[in-house]
């Protein structure tokens, strides 16, 4: 690393699994400023190197594992990993994040990203350390879950804790389950759009990165520490983030229930069963209900991502990773499971098998409802699966990741399974027509997230819930079912989340002012960096991911929710309120706001020029409009 490179390692590691060759290339200064890192860098590589005929399972598909300029520096939550690829669920762009120690370790080994191509003839894992890079035989790791894989590699390297970050696939990835994830560091998951299936198709079992010895320089260290302190102080003291600081996302269960946004029993109700002890589900009580062990991420002081010991029930004494809110949702409420210790155990099974907990929740809840209503028989499944049956849900999980019986179809994901069964069974399934599924919320009361999920280009939310919208000239709060204000807000905020995902920073620690985030980037890199550039950067990346999807045949005709996804709640706080009648109008407003063509879905030439994406204009619009 030269003295002129601040915050970056300045090198990209390239791996060709077909030939077994590895090499490095520079991460040029121009690209660092234009694409930042993480999602931005991944989007650029996807666009440049993956042609439309190279589907998710093609050797020419790229698997980009990247971080950003803040990784390895003292800003909270900046050890992040971003995975960008062409994913198995939508066969389109994927942008998904995890935390832990991957990003910091990678930078300390001298790399900002790993770009993986080809398909190995035999199972391998990638070992990265300060003195070199090796592809090693992974045959002894096959069949192991993600925790077992990490433990085995800790034994091989005689390293553990933050000294070795391991991201791997479990049996779901090995068997190409379309919603397989990539899990690392005991509980951190890059979960969206089947990125683990891509890794499995490449026969790459794991990536193990030692904590290297190469330094990371900041341009203005004192200013960086000041910005980091301000971010930490705001997270600890601001009323909107203090609960997150103290309890992570555990408070989401009660908070979202009060909004009608907790998904209960596959969207069939928004009301808790009468026999539920609601006090157990308050964030503080969830935390106190277990013996907790520390397990946080690189450079982070959030009380989040702990390990816990199950204190009662059938699995008493087992150590599991504390579920995020989406674990309590997908392994719990979406399937009617209401005992926290049982839900925590199932969430851990999902992490170890390495599947997306949200997709599994919608899939399992759908199967339960279909059996209840007679659309699937006991014979079809092989057993009876009732609401709340955690052991049965684990049995279903095993059928899926082994691709046994009906599990072979279910391994294709909710949309494909529902379309195969058809009829009334299909009407019960929750998915987007593009092929992805919502995060762990009932979006019928959070219209901004349904719109964002259906129009997003990365296989999940592109914009996410608003953070300090007044910085963008928007109201501090809007009515969440306002068909005009919602699409306007989602459109105006487009770019913020994508920019954050390029920094190597956790979404829970970037819930502060954009101006403070930009000051941290300035201090780290030495750039004169303002909010306007950050948002333009994020919108540039979002537009390029959309252009990639359009080139792959994923168009605006697919930007709609399934019948159950946009159904009308029958009870709870938003009973009788429906988004369906407003959907087309909301799309009209969103398209106008973001500067995309409503008919074709393409960013307009004017929008592309404003984002410095002139090279994309000819590909999308033809040579005649390039100038």
Are residue 383 and residue 461 in the same domain, yes or no? no
Residue 370 domain boundaries: 249-427
Return d(Cα 163, Cα 353) in angstroms, integer: 24
Residue 381's pLDDT is: 97
pLDDT the model gives residue 1: 38
* Range list of β-strands (E), 17-131: 21-26, 63-66, 81-86, 93-98, 113-117, 124-129
178: CB partners within 8 A, 6+ apart: 88, 89, 194, 197, 411, 412, 413, 416
Instruction: State whether 410 and 261 are in the same domain.
Output: yes
| Same domain as 409, residue 486 | no
Supply the pLDDT for residue 465.
85
Does 482 share its domain with 566? yes
User: Is residue 194 domain-shared with residue 265, that is, in the same domain?
Assistant: no
Write the CA distances from 425 to 42, 65, 97, 171, 372, integer angstroms.
Answer: 37, 37, 32, 28, 11
Taking CA atoms, 365 is separated from 30, 267, 430, 521, in Å, by 48, 9, 10, 43
pLDDT at 257: 96
For residues 581 and 540, state if they share a domain: yes
Q: Where are the alpha helices (DSSP H) in 238-377?
A: 242-247, 252-259, 283-288, 325-330, 340-353, 357-372
Q: Do residues 278 and 200 share a domain?
A: no
Instruction: Output the domain CATH number for residue 536.
Output: 1.10.599.10
Residues of the chain below pLDDT 50: 1-3
For the stretch 103-148, pLDDT in tens is: 999 999 999 999 999 999 999 999 999 889 999 999 999 999 999 9
- Supply 70's token pair: 């803040």
| Total structural domains within the chain | 3
Domain-located, residue 218? no
Predicted local distance difference test score (pLDDT) of residue 3:
43
Burial of 584 (0-12, 13-18, 19+ CB in 10 A): exposed
Largest CA distance in the chain: 69
CA distance 307 to 291: 9
Cα separation, 51 vs 59, whole angstroms:
11
Q: Are residues 198 and 281 in the same domain?
A: no
Among 364, 392, 427, where does a domain finish? Answer: 427
Question: What's the CATH number where 54 sits?
Answer: 3.60.9.10
């Amino acid at each position: 690393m030269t003295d002129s490179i601040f915050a970056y390692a300045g090198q990209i590691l390239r791996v060709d699994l077909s030939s077994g060759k590895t090499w490095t290339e520079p991460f040029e200064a121009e690209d660092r400023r234009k694409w930042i890192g993480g999602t931005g860098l991944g989007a650029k590589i996807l666009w440049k190197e993956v042609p439309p005929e190279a589907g998710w399972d093609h050797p020419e598909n790229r698997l980009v594992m990247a971080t950003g300029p803040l990784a390895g520096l003292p800003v909270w939550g900046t050890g992040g990993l971003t995975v960008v690829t062409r994913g198995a669920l939508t066969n389109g762009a994927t942008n998904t994040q995890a935390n832990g120690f991957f990003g910091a370790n990678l930078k300390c080994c001298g790399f900002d990203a790993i770009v993986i191509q080809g398909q190995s003839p035999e199972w391998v894992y990638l070992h990265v350390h300060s003195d070199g890079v090796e592809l090693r035989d992974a045959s002894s790791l096959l069949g192991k879950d993600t925790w077992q894989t990490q433990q085995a590699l800790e034994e091989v390297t005689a390293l553990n804790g933050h000294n070795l970050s391991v991201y791997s696939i479990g049996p779901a990835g090995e068997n190409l389950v379309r919603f397989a994830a990539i899990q690392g560091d005991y509980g951190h998951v890059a979960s969206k759009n089947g990125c683990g299936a891509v890794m499995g198709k490449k026969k790459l079992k794991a990536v193990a990165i030692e904590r290297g010895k190469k330094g990371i320089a900041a341009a203005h260290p004192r200013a960086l520490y000041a910005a980091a302190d301000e971010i930490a102080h705001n997270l600890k003291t601001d009323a909107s983030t203090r609960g997150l600081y103290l309890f992570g996302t555990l408070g989401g269960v009660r908070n979202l229930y009060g909004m009608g946004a907790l998904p209960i029993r596959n969207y069939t109700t928004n009301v808790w069963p009468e026999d539920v002890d609601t006090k157990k589900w308050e964030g503080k009580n969830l935390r106190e209900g277990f013996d907790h062990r520390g397990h946080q991420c690189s450079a982070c002081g959030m009380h989040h991502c702990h390990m816990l010991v199950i204190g009662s029930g059938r699995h008493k004494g087992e150590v599991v990773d504390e579920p995020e809110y989406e674990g309590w949702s997908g392994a719990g409420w979406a399937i009617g499971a209401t005992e926290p210790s049982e839900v925590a155990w199932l969430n851990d099974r999902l992490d170890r098998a390495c599947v997306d907990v949200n997709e599994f929740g919608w899939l399992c809840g759908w199967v339960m409802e279909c059996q209840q209503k007679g659309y699937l028989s006991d014979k079809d499944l092989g057993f009876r699966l009732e609401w709340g049956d955690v052991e049965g849900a684990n049995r279903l999980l095993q059928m899926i990741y082994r691709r046994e019986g009906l599990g072979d179809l279910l391994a294709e994901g909710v949309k494909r399974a529902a379309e195969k069964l058809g009829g009334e069974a299909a009407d019960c399934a929750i998915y987007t027509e593009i092929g992805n599924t919502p995060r762990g919320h009932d979006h019928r009361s959070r219209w901004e997230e349904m719109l964002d999920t259906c129009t997003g280009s990365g296989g999940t939310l592109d914009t996410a819930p608003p953070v300090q919208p007044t910085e963008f000239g928007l109201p501090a709060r809007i009515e969440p079912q306002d068909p005009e204000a919602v699409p306007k807000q989602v459109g105006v905020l487009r770019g913020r989340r994508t920019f954050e995902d390029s920094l190597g920073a956790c979404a829970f620690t970037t819930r502060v002012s954009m101006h403070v985030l930009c000051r941290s980037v300035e201090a780290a890199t030495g750039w004169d960096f303002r909010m306007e550039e950050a948002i333009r950067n994020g919108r540039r990346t979002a537009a390029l991911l959309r252009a990639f999807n359009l080139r792959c045949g994923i168009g605006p005709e697919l930007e709609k929710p399934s019948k159950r996804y946009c159904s009308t709640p029958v009870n709870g706080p938003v009973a009788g309120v429906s988004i369906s009648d407003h959907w087309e109008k909301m799309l009209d407003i969103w398209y106008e706001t973001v500067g995309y063509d409503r008919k074709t879905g393409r960013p307009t030439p004017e929008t592309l020029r404003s984002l410095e994406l002139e090279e994309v204009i000819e590909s999308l619009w033809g040579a005649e409009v390039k100038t």
